[in-house]
Every structure is written in C-alpha cells, then in structure tokens.
Amino acid sequence: MFQVTRAKLNVTAADHISAEAKLATINALVCTRCGYGHLGKPEDPEPKDHVCDHCGEPFTPESRVNELYRIETVETKVRERISVNDEERQRQGYDIITTYRFLPGPGGGPEKEEADVTTGNRVIARLTYSQSASLWRINRGWTRRKDKNQLGFHINPLTGQWSKEEPDGEEDENGEAKENKVASQRIVPFVEDRRNILIVTPPENTMEKEAMATAQAALKRGIEQTFQIESAELIVEALPSPGDRRSLLLYEAAEGGAGVLSRLASDPSQLAQVARAALSLMHYEVTDGPVSSSVLKDMAGAEAGSGAIPCEAGCYQCLLSYFNQPDHAIINRRNAEAVSFLAALANATVQPLQRVKSSSVQDCDNNVTTPLDQWLATLSSQGLRQPDKVKVPVNGGEAHADALYQASRALVFLSPPTETVFAYARDRGFTVITFPSDASSWPDLFAQHPSIFGTSPANS
Ligand SMILES: [Zn+2]
Ligand SMILES: [Zn+2]
C-alpha cells in the first residue's frame, strides 16, 4: 500500500509561489448536460464561453469548477498498515468527474464523428467518436464532504504536502517547525490525458440512474468479452457525473489501445454483438435472431445442478467487478429499462452520419435525391456557407434538424418542426429557419439571413 503524501509542484508554479505564496490555478466550466469541458489556460485562467461548445446548453452555477491545479507527479510513502479510518475513506471514495474536449482536426473543427444507432426508423442511441480528445479527471473532494459546494483539498503551496486541516489550522501532526507553516491553499487537483474516446448517449430522459449504471456495467463486460480484452484495459464512466447519468464515456486505459472504440463507432453490427454478449453474461438466454426484452429467459441459477448460487441483482460472474464497486448498490441486471435498452441495441445497426464536405456536394448535382442534398447543392451553387453539421438530433433525438450552423446558433428544417421541437430550440437560443419544399423561394430565405448563410456572390 502506498499513500500519496505530496504533489510535486512544477517549476513555473514554484516561481509564482515566491511572490504570492499561492499556486496559480485555472477555472473551468463543465457542461451539466454532456460533460464537455471548457478550461481556462494558465495565462488566462477564466474560460470565456457562455454556452457549451458541444451541445449548446447554457452554463449554470453548477457548471463551474474553480481553483483547478494540474498534478503531474506525486510522492508516495509506503504504508504498512491501513487503519479502519483509511479504509472507510477509501470506501466512501472521492467525488471524481471526467470531462473531455475534442482536439482540433485537420480542418480546424473538432475531431469527431457521429453515428446513430437505429432499429427500424427509431434512433435508440447516438455515438460520438473522437480519435483525439483531451480528458481531464477532476477530484472535487471527498464524496461525503459536508458542504457539497466546497470543492477540493488543502495543500501547502510551498511543499506540495496535502494538509488535513483548514487554512491556518493549529494542528501540526508531523511536528513541522511552526515557521515553515504557510497558509494552506484550497485546490481542486486534476490530471490530463489524451485518448480516443467513444460517447454513447441514449435519448434524453429515457433511462433512470439505475438503468444507466446497469447499462454501463453491461456494455463494459460485453465489450471485454467480444474483443477479448482485460477489465483494466477499458474504462467506462458516466457523463456528466455519477450523480447525473446521461451518457457513457468509454476510453481505453492505454493510449492508442486496441482500436476497439473506433470499430464500435463505425462497424454497423459490432455494437449489437456487444449487447448480445452482455445480455448473455447477465444470465439471459440469447438465441439467434432478433432479441425481445419481453421474452428473454432468465437462466440464473438454472445452470443445471452445478450448485451455482442464483444471481439476483448481479454477481461477480455478470455485472459486478472490483472496478464498479461504488455502483454495486444501483446495478441491477433485472432493471427493465436497462434490459430493454440492451435488447434494442442487440437488434440495432450503427449508421455513421454523413460528414459535411463541401467538395462532395458538387458530386450530388446530377443525382439529387433528398431535399437535404438539394438544399446543400443550392448553397454550394450560390457560393453560400455550408452548415457545420447535418441531421442534428434535437431534444434527445425527438426530431432531427436538417442542418446546424454552430457559430450563429441556427437550426435549419426542410420540413416544419413540431411546436415542442420549435420551442425547445428557441428556448436554447437557436434561430430556427424552416425552408418550404418549393426550392424557388430558398434564395429569398438565404438573403434574409446573411449572418448565417453569408452573401451570395451573385447578389452582391
Ligand atoms: Zn454540453
Ligand atoms: Zn450474475
């Protein structure tokens, strides 16, 4: 057993110290909807965003994490004995969140690809894959801290030693000379990494916390089984936080990894296989052909005459593992929402969403099939601005906007959206533009919104 006693402070921080006896920290805004991170920089600690770069959600006071300090190396000391108190603390654990940000791709935009997971014409999940993302793991403090709004830990800004007490505390357990004492500083420690990541998002408000925790454990086990990888190689976490589970964030422990995630995001049937493996691990009988959650046969304890202990909510053969201990109380292999989600995945196909490429639009000219193709071709022929994304899910997939212009926060519909969808988009500050099916009126609409579509060289 090792105990971390001291963070090694980096040189620039130490320089800063001598002047003010304080470590230089940064602030962050972490989206409370999708978990996307917006971090300040050492030279400019305050992030400037007002809405989430990834999903457009406005920030709330809960988005804020202040006084972040990046830990690069730590010093440990060997502990022969762990006291009951230490053990209790480990059990309670830390309040750790993971936040991420797509790095810029070759075109300057965020490096990511999206795919819909569909059965029939129903979208049951959205996949977002990035082959290059920053990951930050932020330790907000003890899970059971008294004041939930008070984040972080106290550290001696000169020595990097973690201190237990409040600033200016009289206690001096290590017998340090009083004159070496500096007022301790509260910081929120974080570590940074680069990974390829996959985010799985079911439609909003369709799964309770228990169902998400169960699906999280199930997909992790299903992937391990399907791709024959070790449990420690794959990490699956809840986004934006374990307390509010809306998406699952998957990444491989080793940089580069086994390439599992990109295959899940691009192969039409691999995710379905993972879901089948997961259901089978959860002691359900999975036969060939489509899976139906209503007729899945529970085989727990039926492994005939083996004396196997029947599994109720979960066991170490199915969903429970050393890694998901904090979730054991809410993992339930019989959770109806989780089982029906996995059954739907088992029947589903992954369909990569069309990437917007202005060059490929020209190729469609002679063979226009859909209104969207025609609309994109019109933009192109008029020399107008292409959207950042097409077929964008709105309100958790209730509808799809045909196009999104990120910078001007505009959504384009080629058939009128429902009142709910319209209100949802408008309440989030989007300009909604509906184009009628008659293409002859489009140039007028383009001309009415030059800030969104730009100006056609033909009209200027
Ligand atoms: Zn967001
Ligand atoms: Zn079990």
Confidence (pTM): 0.71
Q: How remote is the CA of residue 59 from the centroid of ligand 1, in Å?
A: 9
Q: Which ligand is nearest to the CA of 34?
A: 1
Q: Tell me which ligand sits closest to the C-alpha of residue 35.
A: 1
Q: For residue 238, report the distance from its CA to the centre of ligand 1, in Å.
A: 14
180 CA distance to ligand 1 middle (Å): 44
Judged by its nearest atom, the ligand closest to the C-alpha of residue 214 is: 2
pLDDT at 80: 67
Name the closest ligand to CA 283.
2
What ligand is nearest to the CA atom of residue 33? 1
Q: What is the pLDDT of residue 83?
A: 65
CA of 240 to the centre of ligand 2 (A): 28
- The pLDDT value recorded for residue 177 is 44
Ligand 1: distance of its center to the CA of 95 in Å?
20
pLDDT at residue 171 in the model: 44
pLDDT along the chain (460 residues), means of 10: 71 54 90 96 91 91 94 75 60 84 84 91 93 92 88 88 60 47 85 93 92 98 94 92 95 81 93 97 92 86 64 93 89 96 96 55 48 87 87 80 88 90 86 89 90 75
pLDDT of the residue at 88: 56
Q: Tell me the CA–centroid distance for residue 220 and ligand 2, in Å.
A: 15
Q: Where are the domains of the chain?
A: 2-103+133-191, 198-351, 355-453
3-state helix/strand/coil string of the chain: CEEEEEEECCHHHHHHHHHHCCCCCEEEEECCCCCEEEECECCECCCCCCECCCCCCECCHHHEEEEEEECCEEEEEECCCCCHHHHHHHHHCEEEEEEEEECECCCCCECCEEEEEEECCEEEEEEEEEEEEEEEEEEEEECCCCCCCCCCEEECCCCCEEECCCCCCCCCCCCCCHHHCCCCEEEEEEEEEEEEEEEEECCCCCCCHHHHHHHHHHHHHHHHHHHCCCHHHEEEEEEEECCEEEEEEEEECCCCCCCHHHHHHHCCCHHHHHHHHHHHHCCEECCCCCCCCCCCEECCCCCCCCCCCCCCCCCCCCCCCHHHHHHCCCCCCCCHHHHHHHHHHHCCEEEECCCCCHHHHHHHHHHCCCHHHHHHHHHHHCCCCCCCEEEEEECCCCEEEEEEECCCCEEEECCCCCHHHHHHHHHCCCEEEECCCCHHHHHHHHHHCHHHHCCCCCCC
- Distance, CA 431 to ligand 2 centroid (Å)? 49
Give the ligand with the smallest distance to the CA of 281.
2
Q: Looking at the CA of 199, which ligand is closest?
A: 1
CA 308 to ligand 2 center in whole angstroms: 10
177 CA from centroid of ligand 1 (Å): 48
The CATH classification number of 355-453 equals 3.40.960
Distance 406 CA to ligand 2 centre (A): 45
Ligand 2 midpoint to CA 327 (Å): 15
Distance 224 CA to ligand 2 centre (A): 16
The pocket of ion ligand 1, defined by CB under 5 A, consists of 31, 33-34, 36, 52, 54-55, 57
